[in-house]
Chain A
Amino acid sequence: MATAPRPDPLTPRLYRVGRVRRELPDTATLALAPLSGMRPAFAPGQFNMLYVFGVGEVAVSISGAVDEPDFVHTVRDVGAASGAITKLKSGATIGVRGPFGTSWPVSAAEGADVLFVAGGLGLAPLRPAIYRVLANRARYGRVVILCGSRNPEAILYRRELEQWRQRLDVDLEVTVDHADADWHGRVGVVPALIRRAAFDRHDAVALICGPEMMMRFTLNALREADVAPERIYLSMERNMKCAIGLCGHCQFGPTFVCRDGPVMRYDTIAEIFAVHEI
């Protein structure tokens, strides 16, 4: 029996921009629906290459739920392509390649406590995993979500965080690096929350996403808390171009972040993680 040819991973497929939500002054969430057919399945943690015609292409993690019909992406304006994406209006056309890369170990973590540590926009790649865990809440132990942000105005998905916080089966803490006296929440860095968080150090899986510096400090706090390196997963970020491990732009030691990541188990990269030249 003949099988349908696999789509060329280097050829973008056309998608229509659906709803657009302005999250922050420089950050927008877009829902993307294929012009024809269904969108491909994805696993939490994977990314797509988003192509703005005439501008360029950029790797963006998927931030929606696996069972949503559209691809949902939260994009921050940090360059030409990402800036152009944040300015797209509903109805615009965009090219999409993907999904690519590895995923968060949400199935493997069943039965264990799950600790999510997000810094800034790092909450976006974690959100599909959070949705998945919360949708299957009974399969997990304690669920702890720790979020760090630059200041109260820069808190991503604020309404959703407030909803999660109201749940009786989730421990959620938000902290900001900088605030004035009008802010009544926590001030301090997100790794410091790990010391106070209630989870089983020996039976927890930690999923971390944020700026690399924030992840380094988070790793130190997890080490201090005696969480084993093989139970820690990070979402790495490098300059991804081809997204299929061919071009080498995202080389990270002996690995390619697009193919062997973005989600990587810490013990597999521990030796190269702190090497400056890598």
Chain B
Amino acid sequence: MEGLEHILAEHPFFAGFSAEHSRLVAGCARNHRYDAGEYLFHEEQPANEFFVIRHGQVALEVVAPGQRPIVIATLGEGEIVGASWLAPPYRWTFGARAVALTRAIGIDAACLRGKCEADHHLGYEMMKRFLPILVQRLHATRLQLLDVYGKR
């Protein structure tokens, strides 16, 4: 547990977290290792964990019938994979596939939601970190939708 706590404390997402909050989050954490091509999760599965990437690269993808999976974003070291655990119905909207060997820490969603409910300071710290990421991704998605490199 101490090892995970230490790793989490060094991850940019948890920068500035108090020792107490780090301990609480580490209590919901476990290590993962994914080989290239292995899925962290699939679309429509329960979103019962989110991932703190320590090393490697993950592609978020969506599958359309009869087509190759479409990659909508890639995420790497220092980033977070998964936001669907934050809001009901807690199901993944996209699949996540390791593009290269990826090491991550998974945080159990139900465990962390319970701790955030019990300790609103922890919940607020988590939201302060997640909200800017969600806003950045929303902006990036809008820029992608604008297709700025296409002919006008």
Identify the A interface with B (CB < 8 A).
Answer: 78, 119-121, 148-150, 154, 175, 177-189, 191-192, 195-196, 210-211, 213-214, 217, 220
CA distance A175 to B144 in the complex (A): 12
State the Cβ distance, A13 to closest chain B Cβ, in Å: 30
How far in angstroms is the closest Cβ of chain A from B22? Answer: 23
B residues with CB within 8 A of A: 57, 59, 61, 67-74, 76, 78, 97, 99-100, 136, 139-140, 143-144, 146-152
- Determine whether the beta carbon of B71 is less than 8 Å from that of A213: no
A187 near B71 (CB under 8 angstroms)?
Answer: yes
Chain B residue contacts of A148, Cβ below 8 A:
149
* Alpha-carbon gap, A179 to B149, bound state (A): 14
Q: Look across to chain B and name the residue whose beta carbon is closest to the beta carbon of A176.
A: B71
User: How many Å lie between the Cα of A195 and that of B103 in the bound state?
Assistant: 21
- B74's partner among A120, A150, A188 (CB-CB below 8 A) is A188
Q: Which of A187, A195, A213, A214 contacts B72 (CB 8 A)?
A: A187
Which partner residue on chain B sits nearest A150 by CB separation?
B149
> Which of chain B's residues have a CB closer than 8 A to the CB of A78?
151-152
Q: Report the Cα distance A209→B134, complex, angstroms.
A: 27
Q: CA separation between A44 and B118, bound complex, in Å?
A: 60
Q: Is the CB of B148 within 8 A of A119?
A: yes
B147 A184 Cβ-Cβ under 8 A: no
A-B contact pairs, 7 of them (CB 8 A): A148-B149, A154-B149, A177-B149, A181-B69, A183-B71, A211-B149, A213-B148
Q: Which residues of B contact A178 (CB under 8 A)?
A: 70, 144
- Give, as a whole number of angstroms, the nearest-CB distance from B74 to chain A: 5
**Closest chain B residue, CB of each to CB of A215:** B148
- Closest residue to A195 on the B side, CB-wise? B136
| Option from B67, B68, B78, B143 in Cβ contact (under 8 Å) with A213 | B143
**Of A119, A181, A188, A214, the contact of B97 (CB 8 Å cutoff):** A181
The residue in A119, A183, A186, A187 that gathers the most chain B C-beta atoms within 10 A of its C-beta is A187
| Residue from B57, B71, B73, B76 in contact with A181 in the complex, judged by beta carbons closer than 8 Å | B71
